[in-house]
């Protein structure tokens, strides 16, 4: 499917990392999502019931991330992907997570994953 819903620049704070100070203090993470969906039903009817509700997905991602205590960004990305794929109309998702200032001299460090229904 070539249709995409994009959620860009979700800036959240969470416990993430393996070092002692990372386990004690929340850090910033920047999340971008690209959901592969078929937007034709919503386009035909102009009804929210026929659309993927990206507001609900975003609220669920915020709740997951802000209340998590993951050690690895890879795990966080995978859990976010699984959450997005709970909506049966989402065929695949691309999750990008960055930790600003995680490395000295680097603006950010992060991962990008893509998951499909077959992956979960």
- Distance, in Å, from the CA atom of 46 to the CA atom of 30, rounded to the nearest integer, reads 31
**Identified catalytic residue from 4, 26, 59, 99:** 99
Beta partners for residue 31, in sequence order: 10, 97
Nearest by Cα to 16 from 25, 8, 7: 25
Q: What are φ and ψ of residue 42, in 5° steps?
A: -70, -35
Q: What are φ and ψ of residue 58, in 5° steps?
A: -60, -45
Q: Identify whether 4 is a catalytic site residue.
A: no
83, 61 contact by CB (below 8 A)? yes
Q: Cite the active site residues.
A: 99
């Amino acid at each position: 499917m070539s249709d995409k819903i994009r959620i860009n620049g979700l800036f959240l704070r969470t416990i993430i990392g393996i070092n002692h100070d990372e386990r004690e203090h929340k850090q910033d993470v920047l999340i971008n999502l690209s959901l592969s969906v078929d937007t034709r039903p919503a386009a035909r009817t102009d009804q929210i019931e026929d659309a993927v509700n990206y507001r609900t997905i975003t609220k669920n991602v915020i709740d997951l991330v802000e209340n998590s205590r993951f050690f690895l960004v890879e795990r966080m990305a995978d859990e976010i992907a699984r959450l997005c794929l709970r909506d049966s109309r989402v065929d695949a998702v691309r999750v990008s997570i960055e930790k600003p200032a995680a490395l000295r001299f680097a603006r950010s460090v992060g991962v990008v994953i893509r998951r499909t229904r077959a992956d979960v």
